[in-house]
Amino acid sequence: MRGGGADVVSADFPIAAYSVKNSGGGKNFEIVGDQVEAGPYGIAVAKGNDQLRDALKAALDAVIKSGKYDEIIAKWGVADGAVKEATINGGK
């Protein structure tokens, strides 16, 4: 790690990509190996809060449709986990 306490660390791919991107141009960290089981991430909303749930889905779908989503995931190097639309309870 950056403080000198470890030579290797295991992290979720988006976190690792963020660390590499923000480590002085990749001078301090590097990703080795391939991303394993890229998958979409979720936003937890309390059961019964349908209004918030539906608003989040609509907002995410709008970002995806606008093309901004593709720009963001390309910028951070996490396109392997991309989705085509927001889903509710998509992890089932």
Tell me the pLDDT tens digit for each residue of 39-65: 667 889 999 999 999 999 999 999 999
pLDDT at 4: 64
The pLDDT of residue 66: 97
| Cα-based distances in Å from 17 to 26, 45, 50, 88 | 10, 26, 33, 26
| Cα 7 from Cα 90, distance rounded (Å) | 36
SS3 call for 26: coil
Each of the 92 residues of the chain gets a pLDDT tens digit; together they read 456 667 777 888 878 878 887 877 656 778 887 777 766 678 899 999 999 999 999 999 999 999 999 999 888 778 878 888 999 987 75
Lookup: tokens for 41:
């991430």
pLDDT at 17: 79
Nearest to 29 by CA among 67, 77, 89, 85: 77
Query: Residue 42's pLDDT is what?
Result: 83
Is residue 3 within 8 Å of residue 9, measured between CB atoms?
A: no
